[in-house]
Structure 1
């Protein structure tokens, strides 16, 4: 499992014009079954994505296709997490990394 931090970068001002394409990219991540949570980093620092069932190599390729990343609106940081203990409703996360 991965946590992807998308922190605003030097082209933050381009975010409004790329928001539609970025939202489409997010939608595709959910449809493909890899994204399980997307949210904002507060206060106004960027975003975060919880990702499962994907190799790091494939995730890096997917992240580079994000229009926000490609246009330096955000800089991506990928954190790999191996869940070992979860509440029952999140048991599906244990063993969800494909590294």
Structure 2
């Protein structure tokens, strides 16, 4: 699995202009089964995405198409982790 931390590198006005396209991108990634959760950081300095296990190259290719990335308003930090424990409802997604 992956935890993706987005950090805004532009003004919130620039970020807000790309939200419709970013939400469309998120919806497509959810439909493909790539993401489990996503949302804004509090305070609003960026966002976070929890992604399912997939080849890192696939994740990097997916992130490269995010309008926040292509629009130059966010940078990413990707952390891969192997859950040792999880709620039973998540077992399908994490492969335990």
Q: Same fold (TM over 0.5)?
A: yes
The Cα shift of 1:76 comes to 0.8
What is the match of residue 66 of structure 2?
Answer: 66
Pick closer, same or farther for the CA change 1:29–1:53 going to 2, 3 Å: same
What is the match of residue 24 of structure 1?
Answer: 24
The Cα shift of 1:13 comes to 3.5
The Cα shift of 1:53 comes to 3.5
Alignment length (residue pairs): 96
Q: 1:18-57 residue pairs with structure 2 within 5 A?
A: 18-57=18-57
The Cα shift of 1:72 comes to 1.7
The Cα shift of 1:94 comes to 3.3
With normalisation by structure 2, the TM-score equals: 0.89
| Structure 1, gaps ≥5 residues long | none
